[in-house]
Chain A
Amino acid sequence: MSELPDWQIEIDQGAGRWQADVEGAETLEALRSLEVRALGKAGEIPALMKRIPQIPPLDRKAFGQAVNTLQARVAAAIELRRQVLVDGLIAAELTDATFDPTVGALPLKLGHPHPLSTVQADIEAIFSSMGFHVLDYPEIESEFDNFEALNIPGWHPAREMQDTFWLDSGHLLRTHTSAGQVRAMHEFPAPFRAIFPGKVFRYEATDASHEHTFHQVEGLMIDRKVSVGHLLDSMRTLLSAILQRQVEIRLRPGYFPFVEPGFELDIRCQVCAGEGCSACKRRGWLELLPCGLVHPNVLRAGGLDPTQWQGWAFGLGLSRLVMMRYGVPDVRLLMGGDLRFLSQF
């Protein structure tokens, strides 16, 4: 038994050193750099082959085999070590308990639609689905559209009841969306049905439930042989869709010069189911909107022959509906522009 040649001792020692290095690699990155150092193109183990010329000729074959064996063993050790490290990382990721959901957030920001717009969009969608045009008419109006055409002549108390903003030009800020009724009749051939939402203006002092500027939705349907029975059916259907529940309605006499007969429409109080409570002032009914059959004079102003065409109309308080839906206690919040309020919608 001859002594081991020097190169053999060196390779055996190297194998032990590499094994220790591989087992000492604590991260995938350390292991990778070790791999490059050991086995890469310019790595230390492939570099051993360059020593062939210095190896005695008879040993050269054995030397080559020994280097190859070393290379395979180190590669296998690295692979094994990599598996161990990967297993450890997977286990660590799966058992991570350091996440705190209350800390930090992505800088993703969504804006806020105005609640008036949201409710208006809902109403527009409902009416649109039932064949109603969705129209938009001017806020500065003529006396004609706002009053005369609606059967409200100059001396009429209604002109004072809804106190009006007048402009230096002799025009006015429309006091109701009804100002669009005769515009719509001239714009569309009968029969048609339409809503026109928008801002309206009243010359009145503001408080929690009064604003000089607020929003309404006018509804108008023009057709032949329109009756109170049709109005009842339409209002029940539409209000049930808007309020997202089956509503019970009732009509009682109400006076508005542009409808005849005219009604106040009440809905059954949902808080007390009609028993009477503070929300409905013990009446069991909540006043919701004025409506009626279009007055023949309004049809005439709209260029329609009242013996051929009739219609129904209503005026829904959009601001009030928003307050009802979200429980907003003060109407002034709606147009006050306060971001602390609006950013909650």
Chain B
Amino acid sequence: MLVSWRWLSQFVDTRGVDPLQFAGKFTTTVAEIDDVVQWGFGLRDVLVADVLAVTPHPNADKLRLATVDLGGRTVQVVCGAPDLRVGLRVPFVPPGVTLPSGITVRDGEVRGVASPGMLASEKDLGLSDENAGLLALDGCDAPAGTPLHEAIELEDVLYDVDNKAITHRPDLWGLYGVAREVAAMLDKPLKLFDLSLTLGAQLPLAIRVDAPDACPRYVCARVANVVVQPAPVNARLLLRRLGTRPISNLVDATNLVMLETGNPLHAFDARFLRGNAITVRRAQPHETLTTLDGQLRHLQAHDCVICDAEGPVALAGIMGGANSEIRPDTTEVVLEAANFDAPTIRRTAMRLGLRSESSARFEKSLDPVLADVAARRFLKLCQTWNPQAKIVSHLADIGPFTPEAKPLSVIRTTASYLRERLGVTAAELSDAWLDACLTRLEFQVARAGDALAVTIPSFRATKDVKIAEDLIEELGRHYGYDNIRSEAPQVAARPPHTPPLKLLERQVRNTLVHAGLTEQVLYGFDNEDARARLGLHEPAELTRVAVRNPIASAHTHMRRNLLPNLLAVAEAGLVQGDDGQPARKGLNIGVFEIGRVFVPERSDDRGLPPVLGNGTEADVAAYTAGMEGEMLRGVLDARLGTQPLPLQPVRLGLVFAERLGGGAEGAKLVFPAPEVTHRLLQQAIATLQHLLKWLGKVPLALETAGPAASAGAPDAQPSWRSQLGFDLVTADGETVGYVAALHPRVRIALDQPAQAVFLELDLAGLERAPAFKRVNR
């Protein structure tokens, strides 16, 4: 979000503060600034000019001659702008001036006519990319000849605040909230809004809120006698540099007030509100609405819509309808300044892929108090720009929210608790400073000795500040985290616990690397493309964990065995070479991976605290004692609804692959000599027994039909396992894996003539395996 320093300075006295220097402090105190942009500098030689006469250019159809008044002197220049007309007030760039855009204006001739100077567009002046016409200085009262930077608001510094840094701060989505933080940082007062209005008698509109959960507050007023025209130049340029396109005075006023207060507004053309009624309700089945961007939107029951007597006229909090938008001939508007429920707006905006400036703000849980403020700011601005405009209604204020109905929350804590969490003493962060800091941020502090009762202002209370820890953040960031003494924690000296499986993993990894293999860390997803190409599959009855929202069509399932991904890597290595060895006959590759696989059988782990799994009601009550609201509901729901997690054993997978020479039948039908397969199998078995020796385990027995398998063991008969191989059985008689040659059907599907053998085993089973055989005494 962009913040204008110039605009902000209308609310806080920032004299003597260099915004470029201040940006760093803002980042560490409030929110990260991605970029600081200087806007509207380098234009001090540009003057205000009034167009007195326009005549055709004798030698060019598209050019004209403008005679302009520069205050006391007139000049005739050539101008190509299509909107040039008598009475227009525009910027004039004298000859010899170089503009920020790089243009140097020359005192020369254009198509044979002298042109000592130039009339400028926004783009010419480097103010925006707008180049369709001249910058019209509407609303600028300075006499002709005045330097432009004295006549309109130029020379601004913009902070580009990282939106992700303020997702939890609805108050910072308006300039006023940012100004409040800056005022607190500078210890300067924050200027209050002037919210006084002269209101009409009665609103000729019937307002109903039928979806009070979606719309806590709906503030509404009707304004007559408005004239749609461009907004004053300062407002237009402000919108431009904040990234919003100026449209007309009415629409611009809604946008400016949104940027200022943070509360989005919407203005309807009163002519198109059928039946003079507004209802806020959930959408009905099969209802549609064409939004301002011309898109037909199919609504669902969850969406909140603003309706007139006949149907939807706006998608609440997201975008207005095309049927009631402000047009050039609009004379009467109905203003909406509402508060909408954040999850409702977010869900609809996400579903429709329609994120607007408005929805971005409502999603943050705006303060309902703002709706009234924003309505008044708009009406005020509307009357300032349209002195003839009349508010013909009162300010309707419908919905469940009223300031009285929702008393402000209070946090009770102690100053010493807040200090202890920060790690500061009372000498460093005094009671007086603490109270003053919170007060500057508009918290109300009531103190009784060390005890504090801190009232949360409404604009921080919607979700941001709830508990004492939130106050620690307020104090800490304004005190300055850099000012906190770093202090070594005093901890009990205890040997750390490392699970045995983790220790085993480290040993296996180190041993295999020393044995010449390359370690792999691969995706937890299977690759369906590779599996299909090579015919890799588990027996049909052995299912895999399915992903509901796969990121790619190849990643629909979680791996249940390591071998498929590992084989694909080895195959690629045989094509590309390995370790500086070229990819030619005899290239031998050894790769391994230690990682989890996923077996859709219920484990004894539900992903819940043990107390929720098997505690008594009393245990559960004790566990949930301090919890409330959403958290308590979430915990209790989880207790009922959570299914056991699938098994996620950690496995070792290993592949030795060797490239064979090409054959008469082409790459695919090369059959290795039995000695090659035997040698590779021996390589795998020798590596395994070397590993076991290093781990201090009894060598695994190689059996052709093993006994009962461990829970984490790989599947016994996948398509890639040839009959030439063995189950791996521990001295306790548990099958923990297998070693085998690649099945010939898979092998001949490889891209390269090659032979491969592999090994896959359950590390937990290996960890359980005994270190010695029983000795009979």
Q: Is the CB of A268 closer than 8 A to any CB of chain B?
A: no
- Is the CB–CB distance between A305 and B547 below 8 Å? no
Alpha-carbon distance A225/B31, docked complex (angstroms): 27
Cβ B165 vs Cβ A339 within 8 A: no
In the assembled complex, the Cα of A145 lies from the Cα of B569 at a distance in Å of 33
**What B residues does A325 contact at CB under 8 A?**
none
In the assembled complex, the Cα of A89 lies from the Cα of B521 at a distance in Å of 54
- B342 contacts across to A, CB distance below 8 A: 155
Q: Is B60 an interface residue (CB 8 A)?
A: no
Among B105-113, B285-293, B604-612, which stretch is in contact with chain A? B604-612
Q: Does B590 contact A (CB under 8 A)?
A: yes
- Given the interface pairs A143-B642, A227-B422, the reply to whether A300 lies near B627 with Cβ below 8 Å is yes
Residue B517 CB within 8 A of the other chain: yes
Segment of B184-192, B244-252, B491-499 in the binding face: B491-499
Contacts of B501 in A (CB 8 A): 136
Indicate with 1 or 0, residue by residue over B641-672, a CB within 8 angstroms of chain A CB atoms. Answer: 11101101010000000000000000000000
Residues of chain A within 8 A (CB-CB) of B522 are 335, 337
Q: Does B103 contact A (CB under 8 A)?
A: no
Q: Are A140 and B548 in contact (CB under 8 A)?
A: no
Specify which chain B residues have a CB less than 8 angstroms from the CB of A310 in the assembled complex: 421
How many Å from the CB of A228 to the closest CB on chain B?
5
- What residues of A have a CB within 8 angstroms of the CB of B643 in the complex? 169-171
Cβ contact within 8 Å between B502 and A140? no
In the complex, what residue of chain B is closest to A295 when comparing beta carbons? Answer: B469
State in angstroms the CA–CA spacing of A234 and B486 once bound together: 8
Bound CA span A91–B411, Å: 93
On chain A, the residues within 8 Å of B568 by CB distance are: 337
What range describes how many residues of A lie at the interface? 35 or more
Give the docked Cα–Cα distance between A136 and B606 (Å). Answer: 16
Please measure, in the bound complex, the distance between the C-alpha atom of A261 and the C-alpha atom of B29, giving whole angstroms.
12
Give chain B nearest CB distance to A246 CB in angstroms: 13
Residue in B343, B519, B549 whose beta carbon sits within 8 Å of that of A342 in the complex:
B519
Q: B34 — nearest CB in chain A belongs to which residue?
A: A281
* A253 interface contact, C-beta 8 A: yes
Which of B27, B363, B565: most chain A CB closer than 10 A?
B27
The residues of B that contact A317 with a CB separation of less than 8 Å are none
- B421 and A168 contacting across the interface, CB-CB below 8 Å: no
Complex CA–CA separation, A168 to B29 (angstroms): 43
Contact code string B518-539 (vs A, CB < 8 Å = 1, else 0): 1111111100000000000000
> Across the two chains, which residue of chain B brings its CB closest to A136?
B502
* Contact between A165 and B487, CB atoms less than 8 A apart: no
Of A112, A167, A188, the residue contacting B547 (CB under 8 A) is A167
For chain A, residues 129 to 148, give those with C-beta under 8 angstroms from any C-beta of chain B: 131-136, 138-145, 148
Partner of B545, one of A144, A169, A295: A169
The stretch that binds A, out of B265-273, B312-320, B630-638, B706-714, is B630-638
Question: Chain A residues near B627 (CB, 8 Å)?
Answer: 297, 300-301
What's the Cα separation between A182 and B30 when bound, in Å?
Answer: 30
Name which of A111, A132, A212 has the most chain B CB atoms within 10 A of its CB.
A111
Q: Are A213 and B524 in contact (CB under 8 A)?
A: yes
Q: Establish whether residues A343 and B578, one from each chain, have CB atoms under 8 Å apart when the complex forms.
A: yes
Please give, as numbers and ranges, the residues of chain B lying within 8 Å of A293 by CB-CB distance: 421, 469, 472
B642–A114 touching, CB < 8 Å: no
Q: Which residue of B lies closest to A173 (CB)?
A: B524
Q: Does B43 contact A (CB under 8 A)?
A: no
Q: Choose from B165, B525, B579, B638 the contact partner of A148 (Cβ within 8 Å).
A: B638
Enumerate chain A residues within 8 angstroms of B569, measured Cβ to Cβ. Answer: 337, 339
Question: Using Cβ atoms and an 8 Å threshold, which residues of chain A touch B296?
Answer: none
Q: Does B515 contact A (CB under 8 A)?
A: yes
A169 B600 Cβ-Cβ under 8 A: yes
Contacts of A199 in B (CB 8 A): 524, 596
Q: A65 to nearest B CB, angstroms?
A: 67
| Cα–Cα distance between A99 and B523 once the two chains are bound (Å) | 47
**Interface pair A135/B645, CB less than 8 Å apart:** no
A148-B631, A261-B473, A343-B578 as given contacts; A234 in contact with B165, CB under 8 Å = no
Q: In the complex the two chains form, what is the Cα distance from A236 to B168 in whole Å? A: 27
Out of A182, A229, A306, A340, name the residue touching B424 (CB < 8 Å). Answer: A229
The answer for the CA separation of A234 and B487 in the assembled complex, in Å, is 8
Interface residue ranges of A189-224 to B (CB < 8 Å): 191, 193-194, 199, 201, 203-205, 212-213, 215, 221, 223
CA distance A227 to B717 in the complex (A): 56
CA distance A297 to B591 in the complex (A): 45
Q: Contact at B518–A142, with CB atoms within 8 Å?
A: no
CA distance A223 to B422 in the complex (A): 15
Identity of the chain A residue whose Cβ is nearest the Cβ of B465 in the assembled complex: A260
Instruction: Tell me the bound Cα distance from A213 to B589 in angstroms.
Output: 26
How many Å from the CB of A323 to the closest CB on chain B? 14
Residue in A111, A112, A134, A264 whose CB lies within 8 Å of B496:
A134
A121, A139, A261, A263, most chain B CB atoms within 10 A? A261
Quick check: is A245 within 8 A (CB to CB) of the other chain? no
B350 at the interface (CB under 8 A from A): yes
B551 adjacent to chain A (CB < 8 Å): yes
Question: Chain A 65-99, CB within 8 Å of chain B: the 1/0 string?
Answer: 00000000000000000000000000000000000
Expressed in whole angstroms, the Cα–Cα distance for A135 and B505 within the complex equals: 12
Q: Which residues of A contact B606 (CB under 8 A)?
A: 142
Identity of the chain B residue whose Cβ is nearest the Cβ of A127 in the assembled complex? B496
Q: Contact mask A312-345 → B, CB, 8 Å, 1/0?
A: 0000000000000000000000110111101100
Hey, which chain A residues are within 8 Å of B565, CB to CB? 337
Query: Is A157 interfacial (CB 8 A cutoff)?
Result: yes
Which B602-636 residues have C-beta < 8 A from chain A? 605-612, 623, 626-627, 630-631, 634-635
Does B62 make an interface contact (CB < 8 A)? no
Pairwise interchain contact B420-A227, C-beta atoms closer than 8 A: yes
**Are A229 and B547 in contact (CB-based, < 8 A)?**
no
Tell whether, in the assembled complex, residue A139 and residue B596 are in contact, meaning their CB atoms are under 8 Å apart: yes
A227/B487 in contact, CB under 8 A: yes
Query: With the chains together, A185 CA to B512 CA distance in Å?
Result: 34
Does B549 contact A253, Cβ atoms closer than 8 Å? Answer: no
A241: min CB distance to chain B, Å: 14
Judging by beta carbons under 8 Å apart, are B32 and A133 in contact?
Answer: no
Fill in one digit per residue for B325-362: 1 if any A CB lies within 8 Å of its CB, else 0.
00000000000000000110010001000000000000
Q: Known: A131-B496, A227-B423. Is A144-B513 also a contact (CB below 8 A)?
A: no
Q: How far is the CA of A236 from the CA of B525 in the complex (A)?
A: 37
* B489 and A234 contact, CB distance less than 8 A: yes
Of B228-236, B452-460, B476-484, the stretch lying at the interface with chain A is B476-484
* Contact, CB under 8 Å: B473 / A253: yes
What residue in chain A is nearest B578 (Cβ atoms)? A339
Is residue A17 contacting chain B, with contact meaning CB distance below 8 A?
no
Judged by a CB distance under 8 angstroms, whether A128 is at the interface is yes
Establish whether residues B523 and A186, one from each chain, have CB atoms under 8 Å apart when the complex forms: no
Check A139–B648 contact: CB distance below 8 A.
yes
B638 & A260 in contact (Cβ 8 Å cutoff): no
Given the contacts A110-B516, A113-B519, A228-B423, A148 and B548 also touching, CB distance less than 8 Å: no
B573 at the interface (CB under 8 A from A): yes
Interface string of A241-260 (1 = CB under 8 A from B): 00000000011111100001
Contact of B591 among A205, A230, A339 (CB under 8 A): A339
Does A6 sit within 8 A of B, measured CB to CB?
no
User: CA separation between A161 and B167, bound complex, in Å?
Assistant: 10
Minimal beta-carbon separation of A311 from chain B (angstroms): 10
Known: A160-B346, A223-B491, A230-B488. 20 other contacts (CB 8 A): A113-B510, A114-B521, A117-B519, A121-B506, A127-B496, A135-B499, A144-B634, A148-B631, A155-B343, A165-B547, A182-B609, A223-B489, A226-B489, A229-B484, A232-B481, A252-B28, A260-B470, A261-B469, A305-B626, A339-B573
Can you spell out 7 A-B residue pairs with CB atoms less than 8 angstroms apart?
A132-B496, A138-B596, A138-B648, A229-B424, A233-B487, A260-B473, A338-B576
B contacts, CB < 8 Å to A: 27-32, 164-165, 167-169, 342-343, 346, 350, 363, 420-424, 467, 469-470, 472-473, 476-477, 481-482, 484-489, 491-499, 501-502, 506, 509-510, 512-525, 545-549, 551, 558, 565, 568-569, 572-573, 576-580, 589-591, 596, 598, 600, 605-612, 623, 626-627, 630-631, 634-635, 638, 641-643, 645-646, 648, 650
